[in-house]
Chains A and B, each alone.
Chain A
Amino acid sequence: MTHSPDPPEHLSLSCPVAFSEHDTVQLAHGGGGRMMRALIEELLLPAFRDRSRPGGLPLPHDSAVVEMAGARIAFTTDSFVVNPLFFPGGDIGKLAVYGTVNDLAMAGAQPVCLSCALILEEGLPLDVLRRVVESMQQAALAASVRIVTGDTKVVDRGKGDGIFVNTAGMGLVPPGIEVHPSRVRVGDQILLSGDIGRHGITIMSQREGLQFAGAPDSDCAPLADLVSQLTRLGADLHCLRDLTRGGLAAALIEIADHVQVGMEVVESAIPVVAPVRGACELLGLDPLYVANEGRLVAFVPAAAAELGLAILRAHPAAPQPAVIGEVVAAHPGEVELRTVLGSGRLLDLPSGEQMPRIC
């Protein structure tokens, strides 16, 4: 971000929008859209780049995989700042465990252990903290992972939002498994594990006090066991991505763009439960862009799609699995949606978070 907020006059109208390229952090920098991506690619990755190694920037993935003593270790970290701390279907503790477990799983790894760092705001009731860490422990049990180390810091009242949680995690990648965006191939089928948009709508309905009839629970769930079943596909399991901020659309667009393949996705094949659809219609949101915390997409060759779908169908963490589209040679870097009416529409990364429309 090299633009100054007030361009000198001699630049005049050739540079009329410099102020929009913010020189302070905006909420949209964390929204899972283009601004977040620009922050990572233009500021963070260059800063942390390993200059001893030749070549360009690595393809972004949910976990890094490093070799240590002959084993392939997946390693990742994630921070959680959700408000409210408790919501239907989950809480910040559960999210913090499952979020990191899922990032490990997206590299094909079986999670082994997690760290837990807590940033607590002065004045937080200990009872709230107790509920959060108990929930973390239960979530760790459910995901078959141990929390083995941690850290605690307390900040002045008003300088935090109750609790911020960071978890880092390590997992083991089984032999023969290589799950990575770079393995996505033209002809791969795109499998989606379940209905989309629950978490985002749950949080929005809680945060904004919106009441929807039959409001959904968050889909917040661990995906490691589901992924371990999918590893039965062996080398046919090309790529996995869990759907988080930015929703299904952002996950697909990112992979299409990074790997420079095209994707075609069929809108009518994408499951959305009625309460999520209703809320989206009401608020003018597109469910394709709404956040999830327990859904994944898998890229597998056409010959393996049936088996992949059967594995998903047999697993409770994949409630409504479907083949939603495929990877194509045409329009590399772009995801085209076939609408319910049969017309085509290009999906684009949102700028930041979706904003409810006025009418």
Chain B
Amino acid sequence: MKFIDQYRDADAVRQCADAIRRIATRPWHIMEVCGGQTHAIVRFGLDELLPDLITLIHGPGCPVCVTPIEMIDKAIAIARRRDVIFCSYGDMLRVPGSQRDLLTVKSAGGDVRIVYSPLDAVALARQHPEKQVVFFAIGFETTAPANVMAVVQAERLGLQNFSALVSHVLVPPAIRAVLAAPENVVQGFLAAGHVCAVMGTREYEPIVAEFRTPIVVTGFEPLDILQGVYLCVRQLEAGRAVLENQYARVVRPEGNPAAIRQVQQVLHTVSRKWRGIGEIPASGWALRPAYAQFDADLRFQVQHVQADEPAECLAGEVLQGRRKPYDCPAFGARCTPDTPLGAPMVSAEGACAAYYRYRRRRAV
């Protein structure tokens, strides 16, 4: 398949791994930020191909994983209402809130539906004027343009029965939080290619300069990831710290200006809690007051919902690269994909689920 197979070519991948082996002389800790990259690393066994000197740390870039637990509780409170059709991306349904997950709400009679695009939720709102249709708008900068488009369309169509429960998060503040932590071990980053396809690369330059840490904007196929690692190691070995773009076939420095304009028209930056990590200032997007009529938080009056995460779950440590999933005492025992303690065990992109699925033997 064009655009996929050439980035999964076994010889090319091996050559790239060999090149990394040739230039690496010291141990380096590199964080891949995005859950999609983590998934590819474990699915293709890329960490096995790397020299022992290189440790990949799986970052907080799985949107399902970092959505705060009270946001799940809000979603559940809304989805249980009889007048609501609640629409979500599929892997959100299994994420545990403080009491239950959205799948349980569905089995108890709630109208919870998987959609593939936020525009499907808008279409449902048109088809069901007697119902309130709510879309769970989560994700990083990548999903924001489409989510925003749903709100803009609902406005254009004059839909009174569409709203969005918005819990967007942003990558640059998360990278800053990881780097600023006193116990940080991360020495270089592979930034999330698709986030940068929307936002461009410029917002990473100040981070590179301030923390003197290389950041390589990286794609998602095996060869992309190994090239990203190569570029990062090359900088680290040379004592350099610059912003590089491995994913230039998709990412332009200015990103997608039309998408950015649209997002900024509808969303504004807010402080956001990250599951397992805590509150990070200016790390999220929420609906602007001008779009309050589409804000499910206000429409269903769930602003007061609060919840605590299970204390046993070490998701925060895992998401910040301080522990591998199998270092958690609950991993594979009390915490499995069937009985997840925390979100990283739920999503296929979550570091714990990825390790459980593909690496369980190493853990035991």
Contacts and interface: CB of A to CB of B under 8 A. Distances in A.
B48 A208 contact: no
A16 B100 contact: no
A27 B116 contact: no
B300 interface: no
Nearest to A35: B338
A339 B44 contact: yes
Contact of B90 (A21, A24, A281, A355): A355
A163 B339 CA distance: 34
Interface stretch (A189-197, A220-228, A299-307, A341-349): A341-349
B94 A355 contact: yes
B256 to A, nearest CB: 15
A69 B335 CA distance: 51
B347 interface: yes
A94 interface: no
A19 B94 contact: no
B103 A277 contact: no
A17 B335 contact: yes
Interface stretch (B137-145, B155-163, B178-186, B279-287): B137-145
Q: Which bucket holds chain A's interface residue count?
A: 35 or more
A27 B107 contact: yes
Interface in A183-236: 208, 210
A348 B357 contact: yes
A249 to B, nearest CB: 10
B52 interface: no
B91 A343 contact: no
B127 interface: no
A284 B63 CA distance: 15
Given A281-B1, A346-B360, A348-B356, A341 B49 contact: yes
B104 A17 contact: no
B311 interface: yes
B360 A13 contact: no
Given A17-B339, A20-B338, A356-B116, A345 B42 contact: yes
A355 B143 CA distance: 17
A351 B338 contact: yes
B139 A358 contact: yes
Interface string A1-38: 00001100000010011011110111110000011001
A339 B47 CA distance: 13
B116 A208 contact: yes
Interface in B167-199: 194
Interface of B: 1, 4, 8, 10, 13-14, 35-36, 39, 42-46, 48-49, 63-64, 89-94, 96, 99-101, 103-104, 106-108, 114, 116, 138-140, 142-143, 194, 222, 310-313, 334-335, 337-341, 347-349, 356-361
18 contacts: A13-B310, A16-B313, A16-B334, A17-B339, A17-B341, A19-B100, A24-B108, A34-B337, A208-B116, A334-B361, A342-B14, A345-B358, A348-B356, A355-B91, A357-B347, A358-B91, A358-B138, A358-B143
Which are the 3 A-B pairs with shortest beta-carbon distances? A343-B45, A355-B90, A16-B310
Given A355-B348, A356-B90, 15 more contacts: A16-B310, A16-B313, A19-B96, A20-B340, A22-B104, A24-B108, A284-B348, A331-B361, A341-B44, A343-B46, A343-B49, A358-B89, A358-B90, A358-B349, A359-B140
Interface of A: 5-6, 13, 16-17, 19-22, 24-28, 34-35, 38, 208, 210, 274, 277-278, 281, 283-284, 286, 331, 334, 339-346, 348, 350-351, 355-359
